[in-house]
Structure 1
Amino acid sequence: MTVDPRRTALALGRFGLGARPGDLARGEPVEEALRREILAGTVPLPSGPDLAATPTLLAALQAEEQVRKLAREAGPDVPMPAGPPPPPIQERVYRAEVAARLALAQAAPTGFVERLVWFWANRFTVSAVRGSQLRVGAGAFEREAIRPHVLGRFRDLLLAVATHPAMLIYLDNVASVGPSSPAGQRRGKGLNENLGRELLELHTLGADGGYTQDDVTALARILTGWSVQRDGNAEGLPGSTVFRRGAHEPGAVTLMGRTYLDLGPEQLRLALDDLAGHPATARHVALRLARHFVADDPPPALVARLSQTFLDQDGDLARLALALIDAPEAWDPVQRKVRSPQEFLVAATRGLALPPDPRVVMGALASLGQPFWSAPAPNGYPDEAGAWASPEGLRTRLDVAARAGQLAAGTDPAAFAEAVLGPLATDETRTALRRAESRAQAIALVLMAPEFQRR
């Protein structure tokens, strides 16, 4: 099969993380490289000494906070160790999680699987800005609840997300108690509907999926008892997911017209299985996937085809990804999507072959408005151009591009443009390169070119 360099350049931006030097000269069709990533069925896991399991991290956080509390209570007369104090565990772990993701992104052959991880982690948002527990646990949530399931069944992903300690903490399910449960009657506490509402509105059916407030309340009742272990005991470390029978609302519950008997933790599994296979969930997932990869307003035929694939393949997310790259609409030569700040920075470091410095990248992402795992609301970072292509946002990108140009001032701008854009480079971009006053300025021009900013 003849290799089309323009199609390769388009695909590495649209489905992957951007071209690296030499990627556009590959000898195989890019569709085969994308397909191979999915069919391999492996999702790389970040690794490092600070990337422990969530219960281990939360137990360490709890112990460190107790030590700091005791030190504060002891007063200023107690001698302290010499030298500056080490950074709090949540900051150390957060930086390590970011560094590990950047390393995976830099090394990925195309980055299609990494993009799917990013997509699902954003769709099932937990925010690291919501306190120290989530600062230390947001990256672990992605490692434990998202990555193992992005090429598996949606129902397994949904259950892992809904019962992970980070999600239970983020959406306050740890504070939800069945009003008629022993704990509810003893303490006078009641339902917290946050997780139930977001599971229906954001994670499964969608806002127009046909559910009512009664369904939100019903799912919140099913979720009671799902909490996080506070203290280490026979049930596990602090921070482990635990189902507390004494806090679970007793009795059968009717959700979306189906009745679920009070079977303890199995009640939630059965309810989520049905929500995962609902036609409204298929439409919602298909729309979000097409919007992320193809267009802010994706073609209805594409959404319908992806939705049907989701239903026909029992929520098999690998088959859904393959259906996406098989769809002719996904290969529209017009670059309709604006790269998000994370996509922009990773594409720049890949193209320039710069080792991503986590501190520099974290600072740049903060200025661009998209730090890792820090979306301001449960619906995640937006996927539409308007959120990222504002005048202020583009000015900040220009500043970042200028700094990148300075860091890579030894790079040949023409070779860089050929490596990351190839046949996508327009005459206007090539003319601007020739007129640049310096190599650093020329590299910044490539990074700010419309054909690099879009995918």
Structure 2
Amino acid sequence: MSFDPILAAIRFGTGLSPVILPPASVDEMLDWLAGPDEAAQRFPIPTYADVYPSPRDFRAATLAINSAPDDAAEAAARVLRDDLRAAGREAVIAFIKAEMARAAHGRDGFRERLTRFWADHFTVRPVNGGARHLVSPYIEEAIRPNVTGRFYDMLIAAVESPMLILYFNQHQSMGPNSKAAEHNDRGLNENLAREVLELHTLGVGGRYDQTDVREFAELLTGVTANARSGAYFRAQQAEPGAETVLGRTYGGAEESIEHVRHALRDLARHPDTARHLAHKLAVHFLSARPEADLIDAMARAYLDGDTHLPAMYEVMLRHASAWQPQLEKVKQPVDFVASALRALAVPEGVIRDASMQRVRQLIQRPLSVMGQTWQAPVGPDGWPEADEAWVTPQGMAGRITWAMRVPERLLESLPDPREFVFHALGPNPPEAVVFAAGAAETVSDGIGLVLASAAFQRR
């Protein structure tokens, strides 16, 4: 089986478009990935360091309320905090629009899919209402720039992000024998250490035990964050002395973030990590049961390239199983909506200028009905890969309802369903879908039948 541009757009990208050509080869896919991030430049999202409102803004407002000298000053500070909350809600909508515009109008759909994959790998959830708008900036800062680089850089960036630190309560972890513990011993928190080993690197079944978890947790003490300073290393909170993780010793004379980074690089270079990441990538893009030789080859390329992720992507893209014609994976709801916007060629302006109410009505709330609330997976392991998690009565009803009702609210004039079926599914759509599109009583019904078809739901 050889490269197929239609499969490249559907399986590895954000879908087919009537106005954007699919990639012509694996080489072109890799060249786009190695080139500038055009979609991010075209539809910008601020990084965590630059986002407004920031955690520091909320902290300042709260301090102003608590220290107000009189009722008038307190009322003014509360108005400011309410304004910050409103700005945060508006930012969430702006980021949804930017991410959907990237998927609908960007040339490099593979980069968008990889960004979502790795963001899910390093899942975070906002710890309070004032942080709901910070997930996209976290992704923009820690994940997206490293999608085309080395995994250990992404791992370090994620672990040192305030979002991950606060999500796993790492800021509450304190070395039992640290200087800070002499005055306020909050105890050792193993959450981040366990998830880095189990989810982010070695994987379930990796070669580590509870002793490794505890030693790694002690090494991580000192890695902390707060609203005023963001993420930083606090030596007074760090457990003194050396720690041994998977047989390697880190630290000793002086507590430092560099010891943590050294351990993270070693974990990224571990053979178990290579196999865990290779298997997870192949399952996400190809099949629930990827071929063993593919996993071996991807892991080997990753290790030989010192965790260089594009080396692993290339092996996957050049493997014969990448181009088998049967579409095995069900699109997750975000991918379904994004690929529908792309197939419909919804204009940039329609996405960019949509009001908060329209984005909530046409994208955010429907995603929740389909089972994928925006940036809110249930646990730290992210969204499930199994088809049965998405093919549920409520989820499918949500997709069908969206397909039948939303396109006509997005476009002033819908395309001819008899042509749209080829724009959405490629030159060889199933005959039953072609017939349904042509036989529909209305244009809107015809478009909806194509988008609700099993052929469009799969990738």
The residue aligned with 1:313 is 305
Q: 1:9 aligns with which of 2, 6, 11?
A: 6
TM-fit CA distance, 1:63:
2.7
Describe the SS at the equivalent of 2:224: strand
TM-fit CA distance, 1:347:
0.3
Separation in 2 of the partners of 1:392 and 1:418?
A: 28
1:232-311 equivalence runs, <5 A = 238-262=228-252, 263=254, 264-311=256-303
Describe the SS at the equivalent of 1:420: helix
Letter in 2 for 1:61: F
1:373-388 equivalence runs, <5 A = 373-388=375-390
The residue aligned with 1:113 is 111
Q: Identity of paired residues, percent?
A: 34
Describe the SS at the equivalent of 1:252: strand
Question: Does residue 1:38 correspond to 2:33, yes or no?
Answer: yes
Separation in 1 of the partners of 2:265 and 2:146?
A: 15
1:335-354 equivalence runs, <5 A = 335-354=327-346
TM-fit CA distance, 1:406:
3.0
Q: 2:368 aligns with which of 358, 366, 369?
A: 366
Separation in 2 of the partners of 1:364 and 1:345?
A: 9
Distance 1:435 1:326, change over 3 A: same
Q: 2:392 aligns with which of 380, 387, 390?
A: 390
TM-fit CA distance, 1:178:
0.6
RMSD: 2.7
Distance 1:64 1:92, change over 3 A: farther
Distance 1:139 1:32, change over 3 A: same
Separation in 2 of the partners of 1:65 and 1:441?
A: 51
Q: Is the 8 A contact 1:10 1:424 kept in 2?
A: no
Q: Is the 8 A contact 2:150 2:307 kept in 1?
A: yes
Separation in 2 of the partners of 1:332 and 1:345?
A: 24
Deviations 1:378-420 (A, max 9, x none): 0001122111112221111111111234334632111111112
The residue aligned with 1:234 is none
Q: Is the 8 A contact 1:50 1:96 kept in 2?
A: no
TM-fit CA distance, 1:41:
5.6
The residue aligned with 1:178 is 175
Separation in 2 of the partners of 1:80 and 1:405?
A: 43
The residue aligned with 2:408 is 406
Deviations 1:330-377 (A, max 9, x none): 111110010000000000001111243433211221222223321110
TM-fit CA distance, 1:66:
4.4
Distance 1:23 1:370, change over 3 A: same
The residue aligned with 1:233 is none
TM-fit CA distance, 1:433:
1.5
Distance 1:218 1:41, change over 3 A: farther
Distance 1:81 1:65, change over 3 A: closer
Describe the SS at the equivalent of 2:183: helix
Deviations 1:162-219 (A, max 9, x none): 0111100001001001110011122122111110000000000001101111111111
Separation in 2 of the partners of 1:159 and 1:343?
A: 28
Letter in 2 for 1:220: A
Question: Does residue 1:94 correspond to 2:84, yes or no?
Answer: no
* Count of residues in Structure 1 that have an aligned counterpart in Structure 2: 439
Letter in 1 for 2:196: L
Describe the SS at the equivalent of 1:187: coil
Describe the SS at the equivalent of 2:276: helix
1:208-223 equivalence runs, <5 A = 208-223=205-220
Separation in 2 of the partners of 1:443 and 1:185?
A: 67
Q: Is the 8 A contact 1:89 1:136 kept in 2?
A: no
How high is the TM-score relative to the length of structure 2? 0.89
Describe the SS at the equivalent of 1:105: helix
Q: Is the 8 A contact 1:14 1:293 kept in 2?
A: yes
1:70-219 equivalence runs, <5 A = 74=71, 86=83, 87-128=85-126, 130-219=127-216
Deviates more, 1:329-338 or 1:389-398: 389-398
Separation in 2 of the partners of 1:170 and 1:259?
A: 27
Higher relative contact order (CA 8 A, sep 6+): 1
How high is the TM-score relative to the length of structure 1? 0.89
Describe the SS at the equivalent of 1:253: strand
Q: Is the 8 A contact 1:90 1:135 kept in 2?
A: yes
Describe the SS at the equivalent of 2:148: coil
The answer for unaligned runs of 5 or more in structure 2 is none
Separation in 2 of the partners of 1:100 and 1:77?
A: 36
Q: Is the 8 A contact 2:103 2:339 kept in 1?
A: no
Q: Is the 8 A contact 1:309 1:323 kept in 2?
A: yes
Separation in 1 of the partners of 2:439 and 2:66?
A: 60
TM-fit CA distance, 1:43:
6.8
Separation in 2 of the partners of 1:80 and 1:164?
A: 29
Deviates more, 1:172-181 or 1:403-412: 403-412
Describe the SS at the equivalent of 2:32: helix
Separation in 1 of the partners of 2:136 and 2:388?
A: 27
Separation in 2 of the partners of 1:286 and 1:333?
A: 22
Question: Does residue 1:29 correspond to 2:27, yes or no?
Answer: no
Q: Is the 8 A contact 1:286 1:303 kept in 2?
A: yes
Q: Is the 8 A contact 1:165 1:239 kept in 2?
A: no
Separation in 2 of the partners of 1:79 and 1:187?
A: 35
Separation in 1 of the partners of 2:183 and 2:46?
A: 43
Deviations 1:10-37 (A, max 9, x none): 210100001111446x6x7243431221
Separation in 2 of the partners of 1:370 and 1:403?
A: 19
Separation in 1 of the partners of 2:180 and 2:402?
A: 53
